[in-house]
Every structure is written in C-alpha cells, then in structure tokens.
Structure 1
C-alpha cells in the first residue's frame, strides 16, 4: 500500500496505524497485537476482502516465523482475488486491484526464497513481473520495482 493514502475507511485507518507502528516506530509486537485485534473484529478470512487483503499483507510483515509470514501473505493473495476496483476506490485507497498483485507476489517470492523453495520463489517473481505494468510512476511503484530488482538478483545468484 502507499505510504500515506487518504483513507476513508475506519478499518483501513486502524491497519495503517499498525503499519506505522511497525515501519516508523519499529514496534513489531505492538503492530502485531493491533492487527490481531482488528483481524478478530473483521471476522478473519470471512471479512471484507479489502480488509482481509490489506491486514493479512501487513500482518505478514510482523511475523517472526517465515512459515507464518507465508501463511499471511497467501491469505492476502486469496482475498485480492475477491476484490473489485469499485470496493478499493470507495475506501479511498488510490490503487487498482491489479496494482496490489506485484507487491503480494513479491512478498510470496521472498517467503519461498527464505524457505529454500527457489522454484516457487521464481514463479511468484514471474507473476509479479507480469503485473508490474499496473503500477504507477510514483513512490509505491518505485518501491515495488526496486524490490523486484533485488529479488531477481538474489534468485539469479541462488
């Protein structure tokens, strides 16, 4: 997700608070606790696909175990498949559903790389690269493109 989207959705705003706790203040455990509370409030995987996708994507980043990180990233990917551009737009998030996929696949590639499954990592990298055109020429797009470049280099050497 972009660093500071204009959010019209209270649940996404709370998720963003957790993201800020983690990324700006380094408070992974506090972020994980907040995400856990919100996960329960939204009904877990049965919740609004936008909330599930964004929360699972953020929750993956605060896991200590790569298998748990992978499980959360997989949840985010499944939820993205149930999203519509109209739902994303109504929340105030300035992205299309298609623009979520490069980041989701990039994270999945990293999980599989950490677990030593380089074939699956490369598969997710290919999926991310195939969808890179959905990204804008902005900070978010630059961040994801740089991540893809790093992952490509790591996988080429391993």
Structure 2
C-alpha cells in the first residue's frame, strides 16, 4: 500500500509553518520550526520530510549535505513508489553540495543518480478529482475550467490525484455552492506530474498530483472520506487568500 500524503499530519503542518516563516524572512524561526519537526518525527517518512527542510535552510554546505543525505537515507529505507518521486531532487541537492565542496567524483555520481531516477509518472491509481459539481458516471472532465486559486485564469489542463486527502482538499476549495464531491476518474490519455506542486513545497510529487490535456472519465464516486474540520477549513482558506505564487499553466 502506498503512503498517503496527509496535509494535516503534525510534522507536515510544522514544516508548512516553517516554510511560511521562511517566506516571511524569519529564517531563524523557520530553522527552529524545522528542528522541532525533526525532534517530533515518529517514522522514516516523517524523518525524510523534516530532514529535507532542515537541509534546505542550512547556511553551511557541510550541514546541508548531512541533512540531505539523512533525508535520502530515510527515503530509501521506506522504498515506497510515492516517495521515489523525491529521489531525483535529493540526489541533485547532494550532488550540488559535493560540487561546492570540491568533491567532483561524488558530485558526478549523484548527478548521474538524479538523472537515472527521473521519468514519467508510473502511478496506476486509483485516481480522484475533488469538486462541488454534480456529475454522473461516464461524464468527461475537460480542461478549460477556472482555477480554484486564481478564478480569472482558464486552466489548460485537467487536474487529478491519487491521494484522496488531496482530492478532499480540492473539493473543499472548489468554487460553487454544491456539496463537496470526490469522483473516481480514469485518464483518457497521457498525463504528467503537476508542476505546481512537484518540487515546490516538498521534494518530488508526494501528493501524487497530476494533470492532463486529455479528458478524465468519471467511473465512480467516493462517498465516505475524512473531511476537514471547521478550523482546518479556515486555515486553508486563509492560505489560499494569501497565496501570491504563479500558476504554471
């Protein structure tokens, strides 16, 4: 069974808080938050995430290398298809550290490992799409809808995920007055990692988020999933309102 990325996981929430502090220019507070996340980790998955963020924020190349290698070590121990999407990024960061330290042999090895672990998504689902639209089995979801994050933007792709938590969040944030729905979908053509989340907040594509220019066919509906609490809804709505990032369309 593949690991499910949960945005409400305590360690992930601490890292998200740390990233918010970092974006606000509070590097020392961000470092303390990532350190707190590391100290509270309970398994290799959480250690892989916390150590990655500790590595990113280090000023010393040696310290950055230590934490990036720790993150990779934890990721390799997990041996999860989802986590494997982070391998190219981790190897790349490690290669850059070795290069900065003048160790060109180890830099070359890790650059090669980064390239060797890249590739098109091989995820076989099941896939989900969160929305407030009332749809039926065999309906097709197509590109061209308005973005949940920038309503004035028409999207060139249709987005979906293999993570039901992410689909639930998308349903919560979707525009409209209908009830939140998660549809089970199947792509009708090629798809790619969503570049808006891949290697942005977390290494690789941990949320298993994808997009396609081809339609998605609805093949079912999930009627029972863990919905966000009112507090979590407010937190995500606040984050959405403050989001100034560009959307790769």
Task: Report the CA distance between 1:137 and its aligned residue.
Answer: 3.3
Task: Report the CA distance between 1:38 and its aligned residue.
Answer: 2.0
What is the distance in 2 between the residues matched to 1:26 and 1:106? 25
Q: Which of the residues 42, 45, 54 maps onto 1:50?
A: 45
Partner of 1:36: 35
Task: Report the CA distance between 1:66 and its aligned residue.
Answer: 0.8
Task: Report the CA distance between 1:20 and its aligned residue.
Answer: 2.9
Larger helix percent: 1
Give CA deviations for 1:72-95 in whole Å, capped at 9, x if unaligned: 01100110012253xxxxxxxxx8
Give CA deviations for 1:73-122 in whole Å, capped at 9, x if unaligned: 1100110012253xxxxxxxxx8111010110011011101101111111
TM-score normalized with structure 2 length: 0.46
Q: How many residues align?
A: 127
Once the two structures are superposed, the pairs formed by residues 1-158 of structure 1 within 5 Å of their partners are: 7-22=7-22, 24-42=23-41, 47-85=42-80, 96-133=82-119, 136-139=192-195, 140-141=197-198
What is the distance in 1 between the residues matched to 2:58 and 2:84? 25
TM-score normalized with structure 1 length: 0.70
Runs of 4+ aligned structure 1 residues displaced above 6 Å come to none
Unpaired stretches in structure 1, ≥5 consecutive residues: 86-94, 145-158
Unpaired stretches in structure 2, ≥5 consecutive residues: 122-191, 204-249
What is the distance in 2 between the residues matched to 1:84 and 1:125? 20
Greater relative CO (CA pairs within 8 A, separation 6+)? 1
Task: Report the CA distance between 1:141 and its aligned residue.
Answer: 4.7
Larger strand percent: 2
8 Å contact from structure 1 (residues 29, 62) kept in 2: no
8 Å contact from structure 1 (residues 99, 134) kept in 2: no
